[in-house]
Structure 1
Amino acid sequence: MAETEAAAQAPPASHRRVLAALALAQFICSFAGSNMNVMINDISRDLHTTVQGVQVAITVFLLVMAALMIPCGKLTERYGRKRCFLGGLIVYAAGALLSAAAPGLGVLILGNSILEGIGTALLIPPVYILTTLLFQDVTSRARAFGVVMALGGIGAAAGPLIGGLITEAISWRAAFVFQAVVVGMIVLLSRRLDDPLPPDPTRSFDVIGAILSSAGLVLVVMGILAADNHLWLMALLLGLGALVLLWFFLRSRAMERAGREPLLPIELFRNRTSNLGLVTQNVQWLLLMGSSFTVAAYLQVVRHYNAIQTGAIFTAATAGLLVTSLFAGRFTRRHPQRRLIVVGFALAIAGIVVLIALGAAYKTAWAYVPGLLLMGLGLGLGLTPSVNVVQSSFPEEQQGEISGLSRSVSNLGSSFGTAIAGTILVAGLSRGGYAAAMTTLAVIGLVGLAAAARLPRAVAGSAGP
């Protein structure tokens, strides 16, 4: 506890240096999830694969993150947040370099989807645990999460532009080298990173629970991917995934009743505010990644835009995310968190409607700018308070568990977004697939809006450590 208090009282320069490393880590992981969207044609041509093959690679990357985030969040307690953070960076860099040299789709999936996915799952929970522990009052934590979420949002939204510039100027392979270079910068910034809480090697780790939770999530997302042309297989995989996840939760409850420590304490789900916050996080990332893949794939395959043209259009979303995320601390001081999340969803849904309407009415690239700007503003406004609500609902001894769960739910949303919207789009690229995919995203956005509206009026993220 004394170490936690000392960290909280560290000089501002120390806080800024640590926050820079954490925010850059979130940036590069979000960048990895979206930059491939503008490389679809180049990768397909170079590796002799299809649009669906690239979609699978992107979705598997997001899925590996989601499936392993809960177990890796638990490992931070046993091995320490700094050790997991640095270990994740090393694994991630190895995957990026392997992807850059990939001779075919299989090696690309191994490097980008598997190794980068594992590295991300290891390093992201420490980002949110350390941010929560180091910034303890509501305003400073909101400001810190604002920086982290701003860089994450920019990574997701600007990934197409940065990836497009690199692809057109050099090659899509250079975009993976760029990721490895950024990871090297993060390692240098993390040299003086101190873990506020010492690791506890005596903490148990539920291996069977980790296998069950990961297998259940994999089956569910693979079921969505099979919806394109195998409805019976989709139903089978979704059913199996639901049964495995039910087995996981029943086993965890039995372990708790027996006085043993499960991978994920069931008590985390007894907090109504946190549950609603998790739903909003899931839908926010689903909208961000689903719309990013849909718009980017449509513009390249149907409208025949190149990587730079496609990426440039996404600067509107990047600008919106940057503006609202960086003002998160100021917004939190002036408005309830529920209001920020509700307004954020309203703006994001309005952005999707504008993207559908203007995209159908006009052929010019400028038709996509207003909708993407609205989406960026809305998601940037809601992401930070959603994270703050969830993290602040639990004391410091549960930060490893809730961080793993929170990031898993968010990345599962990213997987769902790419899988659902991508499957609908690929099934009807030239037959209204774009409008159908975006309409589906808007309907799901209404679910997030309903969850946000049910958050307590007084929630302010002040119940944390």
Structure 2
Amino acid sequence: MSRWRGNPWAVLLTLSLGFFMTLLDLTAVNVAVPSMIDDLDASLDAVLWVINVYILVLAALLITFGRLGDVRGPRTMFIGGVALFTAASVLCGLSQDPAQLIAARALQGLGAAALTPQTMTIIIGTFPAERRGTALGVWGAVAGVATIAGPTLGGLLVSTAGWRWIFFVNVPIGAAVLAMAVTLVPDVRHGTGHKLDLPGVALATAMLLCLTFGLTEGQRYGWNAGIWALLGGAALLLVVFLIYQGARQGREPLLPFALFRDRDYAVMSFVAATVQVGMIGLFLPVMLYLQSVLDFSALKAGLVMAPAMVVSAFLSPVAGRMADRAGGKYILMSGLALFAAGMAWLTWVTGVGRAWWEFQPALIVAGVGIGCVFGPMVTVAMYNVEPRMAGAASGVLNTIRQIGTVVGSAAVGAVLQNRLAASLHEEAAKRAAGLPPGVRGQFMARFDNGGSEVGAGQTGGAFKPQPGIPANLAHHIQQVAASAFEHGFVHAMRPTLALPIAVIAIGAAACALVRRRPAEPLAGAHDTAEASTSA
């Protein structure tokens, strides 16, 4: 293996596998939500924290671990991150209650934060300038493919082996990446000492925690004054963070403002956040709908996404190369517009009793759109960035992207819970009028918590009428409960999907600001590089 050590393409394969593993868990977990709710006796908001805590830790610490990569070496941090992520995956699979799973997912996020920023740093240090664009295109394509592949692979694992294997499958992958990293990845160091901006880390982490907790738990606490205080605190902390970062621009800030002098980079940072809101906004409600309303198995629900995954995987590297040659402005605008159109079409198609093939045209349109986004987005963002600023630029871009995932997951989850609480109650009330008076109270009480549970117990199929009711009446009540849930969920899902569709449309419009011709490299980039984050 020594002759392959330092080979750029062998290094890229190693980094891509590690990066792929961390991104796969972002969407694979969504397909397992109903199974985790039932197996762990958890509520929807508890399982949303299983998703959000991973993203929160990852987003808050990406730039921090990027700087630690400068201090300790990116290869060292990458290996340590893979090892921690793999160990945490074992703990996730062994979890016996929601609290244990949330804690293990936080450790997973820590490992992902340690390894992710090192991938770009090592790519920049390994590939010569003339091949760097192609490598970045592959790196961006990995993000798109992993996001789309998650539901299909997750569905296969949940159906054949159980939801715990979504995490256990990381063990052999992580072991392989560790072996490859030790033998293939060179020790790339820049030779410049850096210091951690600890107050900046604390402010960013506190801001994200307040924002995510407020959005995720808002429905449970009735959007009371405490929730609004948390959201207001998040806004205030953001302002304080930006002011503090402005004062530190000459002393190794966590967020180098010089990066945003390049308009294309600034626009792509915003677009990256909108794409993540759209992705999480698509997968979370749709996976619940396919399994809880249409009663698809996890495998079948995942396979519904498979054609879109194949289309996206094929188009991603092609779109990246096209962006390298002709610019990515119109490719990105077209891709985002198709993504939004596919999601809108899917929203129109959804209903009770649909067949899997009815979703395919809409999902393929969305898959074409996604395939035209990830590769060009990274290429356009990094095109005008001075090479010595590449580390900081990649760290900030990844952080903003993950913040979009945090906000998207929390916001979509909050809207879904809010609409479920209202629509399930309305559907149950309409149907309760046809039931005997003696069972109406129990029937309505079962749906009063509609916004907090979406497991099998809420589908109506597991509705347990009170003892002593004749079998035929009990069966009728179960059918009525199932009908109330199915129609209520569909009515809640449609306005929920409107949020990510609108955000993606805004991202598409923002791409109009991308320059059609290459701009000059960042002014003063060489001076700023010494004081910037390398991630």
TM-score (norm 2): 0.79
String of CA shifts for 1:3-26, please: whole Å, max 9, x gaps.
xxxxxxx99991221111111122
| SS in structure 2 of the partner of residue 35 of structure 1 | helix
Partner of 1:439: 498
* Conservation of the 8 A alpha-carbon contact between 1:388 and 1:461: no
CA contact (8 A) 1:282 1:412 kept: yes
- The answer on whether the counterparts of 2:384 and 2:519 sit within 8 Å (CA) in structure 1 is no
CA distance in 1, matches of 2:170, 2:497: 29
The answer for the alignment partner of 2:205 in structure 1 is 214
Task: Find the aligned partners of 1:28 and 1:221 in 2 and give their Cα distance.
Answer: 24
- Give the Cα–Cα distance (whole angstroms) in 2 for the partners of residues 461 and 371 of structure 1: 40
Contact 2:40 2:97 in 1 (8 A): yes
2:118 to 109, 116, 126: 126
- Aligned length, in residue pairs: 451
Does the 8 Å contact 1:77/1:400 carry over to 2? no
Task: Say if 1:390 and 1:11 are closer, same or farther in 2 by CA, change over 3 A.
Answer: farther
Give identity over the alignment, percent. 27
Tell which structure's C-alpha radius of gyration is larger. Answer: 2
- Structure 1 partner of 2:516: 457
Q: Give per-residue Cα distances to partners, 1:269-326, cap 9 Å, x unaligned.
A: 3332211010111111221122111210121222222111111111123112201112
> 1:43 pairs with 12, 36, 39, which one?
36
Matched, 1:78 2:137: no
Question: Contact conserved, 1:285 with 1:411, CA < 8 A, in 2?
Answer: yes
Determine the structure 1 residue equivalent to 2:280.
Answer: 289
Aligned with 2:47 (options 51, 54, 58): 54
Q: CA deviation at 1:462?
A: 8.3
Pair 1:47–1:461, CA change in 2 (3 A): farther
Residue pair 2:319, 2:331 contacting (<8 A) in 1 also? no
1:374 aligns with 2:361: no
Structure 1 match to 2:165: 174
- 2:8 is equivalent to residue 28 of structure 1: no
User: How far 1:209 moved relative to its partner?
Assistant: 1.1
> Is the 1:216–1:245 Cα contact (8 Å) retained in structure 2?
yes
Q: Are the aligned partners of 1:133 and 1:396 in contact in 2 as well (CA < 8 Å)?
A: no
Are the structure 2 counterparts of residues 142 and 440 from structure 1 closer, same or farther at C-alpha, using a change threshold of 3 Å? same
Matched, 1:96 2:107: no
- Aligned partner of 1:181: which letter? P
Letter in 2 for 1:455: V
Distance 2:139 2:515 in 1: 25
Q: Structure 1 residues 156 and 279 mapped into 2: Cα distance closer, same or farther (>3 Å)?
A: same
- Given the superposition, is the C-alpha separation of residues 263 and 333 from structure 1 closer, same or farther in structure 2, using an over 3 Å criterion? closer
Q: Distance in 1 between matches of 2:362 and 2:191?
A: 46
Change (3 A) 1:211 1:63: same
Q: 1:58 to 1:332 in 2, by over 3 A?
A: same
Tell me the secondary structure at the aligned position of residue 428 of structure 1. helix
Between 24-33 and 360-369, the greater mean CA deviation after superposition: 360-369
Seen in structure 2, the aligned counterparts of structure 1 residues 270 and 235 have a Cα distance that, compared at 3 Å, is farther
d(CA) in 2 for partners of 1:372, 1:462: 39
Separation of aligned partners in 2, 1:134 and 1:13: 7
Contact 2:117–2:395 under 8 Å retained in 1:
yes
Task: Quickly say closer, same or farther: Cα 1:338–1:300, change in 2 above 3 A.
Answer: same
Instruction: Write out aligned runs for 1:50-449 (5 A).
Output: 50-112=43-105, 114-137=106-129, 140-191=131-182, 192-200=184-192, 202-228=193-219, 229-230=222-223, 232-256=225-249, 259-360=250-351, 363-429=354-420, 430=488, 432-449=491-508
Greater mean alpha carbon deviation, residues 263-272 or residues 162-171: 263-272
Superimposed CA distance per residue, residues 88-141 of structure 1 (whole angstroms, 9 cap, x where no aligned partner): 1111011101001101111111112x1111111111111122223434546x33
Question: Secondary structure, in 3 states, of the residue corresponding to 1:64?
Answer: helix
- What's the offset of the Cα at 1:148? 2.2
- Residues of 1 paired with 2:270 and 2:65: CA distance? 21
- Indicate conservation of the 8 Å contact 1:338/1:459, yes or no: no
CA distance in 1, matches of 2:68, 2:61: 11
Q: Is the 1:79–1:199 contact (alpha carbons within 8 Å) kept by the matching residues of 2?
A: no
Provide the C-alpha distance between the structure 2 equivalents of 1:246 and 1:400, rounded to a whole number of angstroms.
25
Conserved 8 A contact 1:283-1:413: yes
What do the CA deviations read for 1:321-358 (whole angstroms, capped 9, x no partner)?
A: 20111213431244321111111111101111111112
Task: From the superposition, tell whether residues 271 and 235 of structure 1 become closer, same or farther in structure 2 (CA, over 3 Å).
Answer: farther
- Structure 2 runs not aligned, ≥5 long: 421-487, 527-535
Distance 2:319 2:126 in 1: 17
Question: Could you tell me the TM-score, scaled by structure 1's length?
Answer: 0.91
State which drifts further: 384-393 or 454-463: 454-463
Q: Which stretches of structure 1, 4 residues or more, deviate above 6 A after TM superposition?
A: 10-13, 460-465
Q: Kindly indicate whether the alpha-carbon contact (under 8 Å) linking 1:142 and 1:384 is maintained by their aligned counterparts in 2.
A: no
Q: Which amino acid aligns with 2:112?
A: T
For residue 196 of structure 1, what is the amino acid of its counterpart?
A: V
CA distance in 1: counterparts of 2:357 and 2:519, whole angstroms: 38
Question: How many angstroms apart in 1 are the aligned matches of 2:384 and 2:499?
Answer: 31
Q: Secondary structure at the match of 2:195?
A: coil
Rounded Cα–Cα distance in structure 2 between residues aligned with 1:462 and 1:371? 40
* Equivalent pair of 1:162/1:311 in contact (CA under 8 Å): yes
Change in CA separation of 1:398 and 1:142 when aligned onto 2, cut-off 3 Å: closer
1:127-182: per-residue Cα shift (whole Å, max 9, x none)?
122223434546x3343233223332222212122122112212211221101211
Q: Does the CA-based 8 Å contact 2:137-2:321 persist in structure 1?
A: no
Q: Contact conserved, 2:45 with 2:216, CA < 8 A, in 1?
A: no
Could you tell me how far apart the structure 2 residues matched to 1:307 and 1:276 are? 37
**Distance in 1 of aligned mates of 2:79 and 2:5:** 23
Cα distance in 2 for residues equivalent to 1:317 and 1:232: 43
**Conserved in 1, the CA contact under 8 Å of 2:148 and 2:308?**
yes
Contact 2:117–2:394, Cα closer than 8 Å, also in 1: yes
